[in-house]
Structure 1
C-alpha cells in the first residue's frame, strides 16, 4: 500500500516534467488543427503511397493497368445490353451510351472509394501498429488510387461522348464546357474522402461492415440513376403520393447528384434534374461534398487513438 501511494506523486511529477519539456503520449489523439497539420506535412508521402498502390493493384495480371479502363467499360457494355436493349430503359434518354458510361464511371469512383475505405485500416494493421502517423493517411491514399482510375476513365469518356453523339445524331461534340469536369472531379473527390473516412472508422471497429457494404452499394447503385433517367422513370409511378415521396429522396441522393452533374457538364443533350428546395446540381454537389468531408473527418479523428489496438 505504501509503495503504491508513493508511486502516485512520482507519476504526477514525471507527467509534469514530460509536459514541461514537450514530451507527449504517442498514442494520444492530437488536436484537430495539429492533426490537419500532420496530414499536410505528409502530403508527398500520401501521393507516393497511393501511386505505389495503384501500380501494385494490377501488377499480377498480364494486361496490367489496362484493366483499369477495361473493367468499367465491360460493365457498361453489360448494363447497356440488359437495361438499354432488353429492358428498354434507354427510352427518354438522348445519347444513352454516353449517359450510361458516364454513370458507370462516376458511380464506380464512389463505390470503390467506399469499399477500399472500409478496409483501409484493417488491411494495414501491421503498418498501423508499427509506426506512428495520422491514420487518415490510409483512407486518403485509397481515394487517390481511385482518382487515378477516374482520370483514365475520363480520358476515355471524352472520346466516347463525341463518337456516340455523332452516331445517334444528338449533336454531342467537343465543347469548352468540358473544362468544368475539373471542378466536378474536385468536388467528387472531396465527397469520396468524406465517405471513405467515415466508413474507415466503422471498418476499423467491425470487419462485419465488409459483408454489409455490397448490399448497401447495390441499393445505392439502383437508386442513383446509373442506367435510367430519374425524372422519366420515377415520374411514371402511378401513385401520385408515392411519386411525391420518392422523387425528392432519389434526386437528392448524393450518388444521383454527382452523376447528374457529370452528365450536365459532359453531355450536351442532357437536361439536368429539377431538384427540390430550389437547388441546382452544382449547389447540391457542393453541399454534399462539404457535409461529408467535415462530418467524415471529425468522425474519423475522434477515434484516432484507438485504431490498430486489440
Structure 2
C-alpha cells in the first residue's frame, strides 16, 4: 500500500487523478499531510467522503515510530525511530538561540566506512524512503508541539546517519517536498546537505538550488583522507575540489567545509597550513568540529589549545574558520555518534 508521505506533490496529484478526482483535491490532501500533521485519512474533514474512502483503499499514512526519546542536559533531543520493516534510525533536535535545528538521517547505516563515525561501524543496510526522511521532520515538529515549546523547528541539516548523495533520487524528492509552499515550506537557505563527496551527484545537487552544501573534508591530503575515510578513495581530493569549483555561488556565498579535529591525526600546524593551500582554490569557509569520544573507536579529542592554534592558522591566512559547539554528547547525539542500536537493554533513555 502507498504511504502518502512518500509522495511528492505531483505524485500525489497523479494518484488523486487516477482515483477519478480533479487535480485540485491533491492540494487539500497535501495540506492535511504537511501543515496539519494528519495521520488518518478519515480525519481529512474538508475532503469528500468518497475520496477519503478511495484513498483509504489505495494508501495510508505511516510515520516512523518513536521507539525512544532521550533528552540532553543542554536541551538536545535524540529520537530512535522504528521503520516499517523493523530497521531503526536516529535523528536529533538541536536547540539554538531562537529556533531548533533538526539533524536528519538519509540511510539505515552507512557505506562510507569513516573510521571516526559510529554509524560507519554499522555498515550499510538500506536507503531511506522520502517518507522516512520527511517523517523525521513530522515527528520532531509534533514533539515540540506536544511539549508546548515556543521555539519552532526552523533549520534542517542532513548530517545524521548515511551519505545523502548515495540516496540521491530519494533525497531530491525529499527536498522538493520540504520546499512546497502549501506544505512544510522550508527555504533552501534553511536546509543544508552534508556530503563526503559522490562524483556522479555532487555537481547536480549543487546546481539544484534546493539546499546549501557542506563538504565533509576532515583531512587536507588524499592520503590522510583515505586513511580515516576509506569511502573517499572513489573521489580524489583534486577531483572533489575541481567539481566544487563548478558549483554556482551567489556573490557573498561560500562553500562550507567540515573538518573534524582528531588528536595526533589531522590537527597539527602542518595540517592547517596544507588545508589553507587546498582551499585556496575555492570560496571556502571552515567549520571545525572537535571529535566526540565514541566507545569502540580509537581516536581522541584534541586539547582546547590545539583547537585554538589550528583555527588561528586558518584565520591568519584569510579563511573564515569557526568551531562548532558540540551538543548532546551526554546522550550520544553529537556529531559522529549516531548508531541506532534499537535493542540495547543497558540504554534505557529518558
Of the two, which has the highest radius of gyration? 1
Query: Which structure has the highest helix share of the two?
Result: 1
Q: State if a TM-score over 0.5 links the two structures.
A: no
Query: Which structure has the highest strand share of the two?
Result: 2
TM-score by length of 1: 0.26
TM-score by length of 2: 0.24
